[in-house]
Structure 1
Amino acid sequence: MGLYEKWFEATREKDKRKRYWTYVEKEDGRDEIRDDLAETIRSHYDRLERIAEDVKRLGYTFAAKILSEAMPQTPRGRSGDLGEILATELVEEEIGLRVPVRRLRYKDGRNMAMRGDDFIGAGYGGPDEKLWLLKGEAKSNKVLGKGTVTSARKVLNRDNGRCTPDSLLFVANRLLDSNDPDDNALGRSLRDEVGLKSLRADRIDHMLFTVSGNGPHASLKADLDGTGTNRDHYVVNIHVEDHQDFIAAMYKEAEDLGDD
């Protein structure tokens, strides 16, 4: 059972190529996933096996200090990063595309936001099993409002709705550095797409992903209603009522590697 299935009650609406998904925490859902989510957060900043190696060499306290240096320390930085983390996990768990690079491992500074698309899902689909992409924008706010939704949609529509070339190249080059042949093949497909721009709009899905303390604002549904039908659209809201306290608690737990 995946993170989302354990944690939330989901409501999913679909109208042709438009999907509106809302998630509300189950009564005991947070307790069920707390340890798993802490580990997931760590894995977006460093490889778990590398963290384990630090523990083996230096012990838990100093390994935790190394991990903490990769994580944002400001409420805003943590909120933004957690939005991207939860979006990535949703794409892989609920849609089946890969988000093949954990881009938070490559930040210039732990409190700085990264440029480019927030997350890119990639894989192969359709009857021809050719490249399929998902361009995603993640927003995490204590209070979600229309302005945030409008700005996120503008970003998704940028570059004629395509993934930005710099974002695609970033993912492609990380995959081409891998020792996995499947990663290399996907990386080559992404790199070729930067040059060829051959994918039609109906093979580049869009996701507007939100985490908020006030739940799904009316502007989310209105935004989805206003999108076209030339691609799959996902508009998602994760409702976490104690938004800021929850984020602070989860980062504290993620930074704590234990002592045994």
Structure 2
Amino acid sequence: MTWAAAAVPRHYVAADEIAAVLRELGKPEAAKVLSGKLPVSKRTRSGELGEILGTQYVARELGYRMIARLRWKDSRDMPMRGDDLLGVRMVDDDKLEFLKGEAKSRASLSTSTLDEAEAALLSEHGLPTPHALMFVAARLREMGETKLHVKILAAQLRGRIRPSDVLHLLFTFSGNNPLKLLRNHTKAYKGKIRRLGVGLQVPEHQAFIRRVFEEVIRDARTR
């Protein structure tokens, strides 16, 4: 659980923002900044923890550049639009590869949930949604990654993204064993875009989520 709690804060608040608040206002105010960004409802916490875990997996295991998009939410309990997971990596100076992913968090994963994710993955002919691409590109520019920003814009605006440049990821975080469901769903897929299914099982799914967010808040107040 500690590993999950350690990953959560930076997905809501940038490290330099917290550092600035700590320096200028002190620890209690820094804790309030983070706590004010965290979701309150069980449903939102579940979905966003699944997205955070999926983002961590894509960045660390698959090597795509990811952004912590939850930092730009309008409201702590309102879901964000666009692709759950959108990663990009530069293969060489002229070629980009994209990851379009859906993250699903359920106490009991079902076929209908996977079908819902499938529909989202196949939107825009299976390619990353234009709005999500523009959003990621803008955030990368703000972080100083101007070369990648321009490459993404060029690929999007000039229609250079092909199905062969995209990998689909169906990431699940559930209380029940997802292996059979993901295996059957992946075997049934007949599309042209490569598809990867990854499942993380935590038997005490709801209790785990509650404890993770409790630890995040406790650590923010005591460190």
TM-score by length of 2: 0.93
Paired with 1:107 and 1:141, the residues of 2 have a C-alpha distance of 22
1:96 to 34, 56, 63: 63
Could you give the per-residue CA deviations for residues 71-124 of structure 1, whole angstroms, max 9, x where no partner exists? Answer: 10011010111111000100011111111x211000010001101100111011
1:105 to 68, 71, 77: 71
User: SS in structure 2 opposite 1:233?
Assistant: strand
Paired with 2:28 and 2:215, the residues of 1 have a C-alpha distance of 14
Paired with 1:48 and 1:248, the residues of 2 have a C-alpha distance of 23
Q: Does 1:210 align with 2:157?
A: no
Deviation at 1:190, TM superposition (A): 1.3
| Root mean square deviation of aligned Cα | 1.7
Q: Which residue matches 1:137? A: 102
Q: Which residue matches 1:10? A: none
Q: Which residue matches 1:25? A: none
Paired with 2:186 and 2:90, the residues of 1 have a C-alpha distance of 25
Paired with 1:153 and 1:259, the residues of 2 have a C-alpha distance of 42
Q: Does 1:221 align with 2:183?
A: yes
Paired with 2:35 and 2:178, the residues of 1 have a C-alpha distance of 32
- Structure 1 residue ranges without an equivalent (≥5): 1-29
Deviation at 1:229, TM superposition (A): 6.2
1:57 to 21, 24, 29: 24
Could you give the per-residue CA deviations for residues 172-206 of structure 1, whole angstroms, max 9, x where no partner exists? Answer: 1112223x2xx111111111222122122111100
Paired with 1:90 and 1:125, the residues of 2 have a C-alpha distance of 19
Q: 1:135, 1:205 within 8 Å by CA — same for their partners in 2?
A: yes
Identity %: 36
Deviation at 1:166, TM superposition (A): 0.5
How many residues align structurally?
A: 222
Q: Which residue matches 1:123? A: 89
User: SS in structure 2 opposite 1:116?
Assistant: coil
1:240 to 187, 194, 202: 202
Deviation at 1:37, TM superposition (A): 2.8
User: SS in structure 2 opposite 1:68?
Assistant: helix
- Structure 2 residue ranges without an equivalent (≥5): none
Name the stretch that deviates more: 153-162 or 187-196: 187-196
Q: Does 1:43 align with 2:10?
A: yes
Deviation at 1:129, TM superposition (A): 5.7
User: SS in structure 2 opposite 1:215?
Assistant: coil
Q: 1:176, 1:187 within 8 Å by CA — same for their partners in 2?
A: yes
